């Protein structure tokens, strides 16, 4: 049987607090511990001046870390002090954050288990706690972390969208591309979504942004031009997004051409779907000769693929002027193919040319956020989707926000 001194050390009770009595209840397995203080003065929670105890609150109870698989609860009547400057105030206990019915040790354990298990339900099973309790700890941890996040310099940000549910429901994610973390998550993918993020930043912080990468979604660009100084030269349309459009155009040409060839009993393009999606340098060795023969033919798909490969050279340009000249020449060649999907991409590039060639000024992409995107997809699969954007935001920031999640006692400034 543990002595009171041993249990005091196990609970890591702070100075001036001690165990008055304990009670073990077998059904259910619970341990209840009553605490008392042994001093008549406590610091004012506002000014930290030592003040005499005025009275005590009614008894409060906090859930603590389990002891020997028994749910453990701490009980205490909290002293209220009489401060000459701030009146009667309740002290801040050193084992729990104010107005919370669990200790900081238990909060820390919940946060650690959720991070380890990757799902709320998994942490609930380990901790023997309800879903609402664990989710509440996560919400407080995210709020705490967002409040602690310093107004440090963020110079490269990325903007992207993620599907919340089917039927075209989205959220907007903003990344810190240098530190590879999520800065915030906003509902929908509208102009107002991104404006609401920019409004949380001070003008000096917005002015410090060097580059913003995004896809060619108009509302994001409009919001950035409204809020970020000199944004026209800072927006970079993500190169992988442009390449994705071109890859889809090649595949559309292949599908249409393959359909026509099959009607003529020609199997030339059968089974080649993935060949045309490779970059030339990434093509598997066993396909090199076959693709070379197709590229040398007069197939429309071969023409589209060649245009796709030439577009990739745009991001090797070292100045905005050379990039502009190259893109203009490339678009002219693309339109000369007469292929509607390819012409559509050429028009897209010309319409967004200034922000595409800004890559030559500062070669940044959203590639740094791909690791985060894979975590977000894992979270969605594990949770089988999120019903509300608030819950989705909480999960993303909890795992990908780089936040200081763990609770600590608040510190007050001393009297002037």
Residues 44-88 have pLDDT tens digits of: 888 888 888 888 888 899 999 888 788 899 999 888 888 888 889
Q: DSSP character for 15?
A: T
Helix, strand, coil content of the chain in percent (nearest 5): 50, 20, 30
Report DSSP letters for 276-305, one per residue.
GGS-GGGS-GGGHHHHHHHHTS--HHHHHH
pLDDT by residue (tens digit) across 142-193? 999 998 887 778 999 999 988 876 656 889 999 999 999 999 999 999 999 9
pLDDT at 415 over 60: no
List the chain domain ranges.
1-101, 103-232+397-408, 239-360
Sign of CA dihedral 248, 253, 256, 257: negative
Exposed e or buried b per residue across 53-89, where buried means at least 16 C-beta atoms within 10 angstroms of its C-beta: eeeeeeeeebbbebbeeebbbbbbebbbbebeeeeeb
| pLDDT band with cut points at 50, 70 and 90 for residue 206 | very high
Question: How far is the C-alpha of 364 from the C-alpha of 386, rounded, in Å?
Answer: 31
Position 416 scores a pLDDT of 30
Residue with more model confidence, 240 or 40: 240
Position 356 scores a pLDDT of 95
Q: What does the block give as tokens for 48?
A: 């930290």
Question: How far is the C-alpha of 233 from the C-alpha of 140, rounded, in Å?
Answer: 39
Q: What does the block give as tokens for 232?
A: 């026209």
Question: How far is the C-alpha of 316 from the C-alpha of 334, rounded, in Å?
Answer: 19
Position 317 scores a pLDDT of 93
Question: How far is the C-alpha of 136 from the C-alpha of 177, rounded, in Å?
Answer: 29
Only one residue has tokens 């490339």, namely 330
Position 169 scores a pLDDT of 81
Cα–chain center distance at 278 = 30
pLDDT at 112 over 60: yes
- Beta-carbon contacts of 11 under 8 Å, excluding residues fewer than 6 positions away, are 19, 33, 64, 74
Residue with more model confidence, 364 or 254: 254
Question: How far is the C-alpha of 96 from the C-alpha of 407, rounded, in Å?
Answer: 9
pLDDT at 411 over 60: no
Q: How far is CA 36 from CA 13, 26, 93, 172, 216, in A?
A: 11, 24, 12, 50, 63
Q: Measured in Å, how far apart are the chain's first and last C-alpha atoms?
A: 50
Position 219 scores a pLDDT of 95
Pairing of strands 17-25, 30-37: antiparallel
Question: How far is the C-alpha of 257 from the C-alpha of 26, rounded, in Å?
Answer: 76
Statement: the pTM of the whole predicted model exceeds 0.85: no
Query: Is residue 61 helix, strand or coil?
Result: strand
Q: How far is CA 243 from CA 279, 331, 371, in A?
A: 11, 14, 19
- Beta-carbon contacts of 274 under 8 Å, excluding residues fewer than 6 positions away, are none
pLDDT by residue (tens digit) across 30-55? 889 999 987 778 888 888 888 888 88
């Amino acid at each position: 049987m543990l002595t009171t001194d041993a249990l005091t050390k196990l609970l890591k009770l702070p100075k001036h607090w001690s165990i008055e009595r304990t009670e073990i209840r077998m059904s259910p397995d619970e341990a209840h511990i009553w605490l008392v203080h042994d001093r008549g003065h406590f610091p004012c929670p506002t000014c930290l001046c030592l003040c005499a105890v005025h009275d005590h609150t009614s008894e409060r109870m906090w859930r603590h870390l389990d002891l020997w698989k028994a749910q453990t609860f701490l009980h205490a009547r909290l002293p209220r002090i009489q401060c000459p400057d701030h009146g009667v105030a309740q002290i801040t206990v050193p084992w729990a954050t104010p107005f919370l019915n669990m200790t900081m040790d238990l909060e820390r354990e919940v946060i650690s288990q959720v991070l380890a298990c990757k799902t709320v339900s998994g942490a609930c099973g380990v901790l023997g706690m309800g879903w609402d309790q664990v989710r509440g700890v996560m919400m407080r941890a995210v709020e705490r972390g967002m409040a602690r996040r310093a107004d440090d310099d963020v110079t490269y940000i990325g903007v992207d969208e993620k599907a919340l549910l089917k039927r075209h429901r989205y959220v907007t994610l903003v990344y810190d591309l240098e530190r590879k973390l999520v800065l915030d998550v906003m509902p929908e993918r509208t102009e107002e979504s991104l404006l609401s993020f920019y409004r949380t930043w001070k003008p000096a912080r917005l002015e410090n942004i060097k580059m913003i990468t995004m896809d060619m979604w108009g509302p994001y660009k409009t919001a950035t031009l409204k809020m970020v100084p000199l944004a026209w030269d800072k927006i970079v349309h993500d190169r992988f997004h442009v390449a994705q459009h071109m890859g889809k155009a090649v595949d559309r040409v292949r599908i249409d051409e393959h359909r026509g060839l099959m009607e003529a009993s020609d199997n030339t393009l059968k089974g080649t779907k993935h060949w045309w999606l490779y970059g030339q340098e990434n093509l598997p060795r066993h396909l090199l000769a076959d693709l070379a023969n197709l590229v040398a033919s007069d197939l429309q798909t071969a023409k589209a693929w060649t245009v796709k490969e030439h577009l990739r050279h745009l991001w090797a340009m070292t100045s905005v002027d050379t990039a502009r000249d190259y893109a203009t020449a490339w678009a002219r060649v693309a339109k000369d193919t007469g292929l509607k999907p390819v012409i559509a991409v050429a028009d897209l590039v010309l319409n967004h040319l200034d922000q595409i060639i800004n890559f030559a000024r500062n070669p940044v992409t959203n590639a740094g956020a791909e690791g985060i995107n894979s975590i977000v997809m894992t979270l969605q699969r594990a949770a089988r989707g999120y019903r509300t954007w608030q819950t989705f935001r909480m999960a993303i920031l909890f795992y990908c926000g780089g936040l200081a999640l763990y609770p600590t006692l608040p510190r007050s400034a001393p009297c002037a």
